[in-house]
Chains A and B, each alone.
Chain A
Amino acid sequence: MKSLFEQFEIDLYCIIITRFFDISITTITVYLGLLMVIVIGMYKVSLYKATIIGGNNWQHIGEMIYEFVVDLIIEQVGKPGILFFPFIMSLFLFVLTLNVMGLIPLSFTVTGQLLVTFTLAITIMIGITIWGFRIHGIKFLNIFVPSGIEPWLLPLLVFIEIMSYVLRPISLAVRLFANMLAGHLLIHIIGVAAIYLMQFYFIGILPWICVIAFMFLELGIAFLQAYVFVLLTLIYIANIINLH
């Protein structure tokens, strides 16, 4: 039996190293290209025979995701957050499509790599910090000072706030990564157990029903984690807009 972590190994298909950049083609590159084809193709198809009244099923899927993201932004941030709509929509489709693509048997999970999720999270946090300085100026530092507390407690609370702000990208990245990793390892272990139990014919297909149930659970977790990733990004944006 091969190692449990075999499904997370990255293969190197083509080595391209220029003087300043390493743009080699790996499994991650191939899956990101496939992601672009799937998302753009889905929206092209949903716009193919689109009508204003009525419409076909593909159009309904596209409109459903659009309205879901818009409602989420209006509910969490309010009117000024609609500035972030293109970013939030592409983030949601990115994480959701990669999670669901990883559930296809024998495929590779891109969001199961800490590299990918941490790059996403640190980019988001640096970007919204720069944006906060642009809209608030130096008053942005008020985010670290909670209001309505005693003066002698202030240094401790400012320290705690700064620590929680710095640890946000790490918690955002590790949450998605750990969920994907643990879920796929669980499916792998249950699948190996089901194959082993096939030699006892009297058990029947009970282990395979168990595998299918866990696959549905993983499908639910894939949607839930994409939703939570976007929701926490929106909560951080709302925190910066309102400044306590």
Chain B
Amino acid sequence: MKNIVKIEQLELASAVVELGKKVGAGLAAIGLTGAGAGVGIVFAAFILAVGMNPNLRGELFKLAMLGFALSEAVGLLALMMSFLILYS
């Protein structure tokens, strides 16, 4: 009689796995705060630089776009991890 697994125990085990997936996905999405701060810093620096020297606006805009894309990609890695945990 010891080795029999009851249905309640199986349900409990799958519920614990579901719970772990959802909590883990939520925790993985915390990494996006850093990406948000990074994008904000990039555009703040761009506005400051244009305010000091408006002639360089065209060149600085390209650099700002490059920095925006690079820092956003890092944040999207955290989002990818979250989706990967949630849906696989």
Contact = CB atoms under 8 A, between A and B. Distances in A.
A179 B87 contact: no
Contacts of B69: 175, 224-225, 228
Contacts of A225: 69
A57 interface: no
Contact of A185 (B65, B72, B77, B83): B83
A182 B66 contact: no
Contacts of A178: 73, 76-77, 79-80
Contact of A179 (B65, B66, B73, B83): B73
A117 to B, nearest CB: 12
A171 B77 CA distance: 10
Given A175-B69, A224-B69, A182 B79 contact: yes
Chain B: interface size category = 10 to 19
Contacts of B87: 3-5
Interface in A100-145: none
Contacts of B72: 179
Contacts, number: 35
A227 B80 contact: no
Interface of A: 3-5, 171, 174-175, 178-179, 181-182, 185, 224-225, 227-228, 231
Secondary structure type dominating chain B contacts? helix
A225 B72 CA distance: 11
A55 to B, nearest CB: 25
B20 to A, nearest CB: 20
A224 B70 CA distance: 11
B46 to A, nearest CB: 15
Contact of B76 (A3, A182, A224, A228): A182
Nearest to A231: B66
Contacts of B79: 178, 182
Nearest to A179: B76
Interface string B51-69: 0000000000000011011
Nearest to B74: A175
B73 A227 contact: no
A171 B69 CA distance: 12
Which residue, of A179, A185, A225, A228, has the highest number of chain B Cβ atoms within 10 A? A228
Given A4-B87, A174-B73, A175-B73, A182 B80 contact: yes
Nearest to B76: A178
B65 A174 contact: no
B1 to A, nearest CB: 41
B76 A227 contact: no
Contacts of A175: 69-70, 73, 76
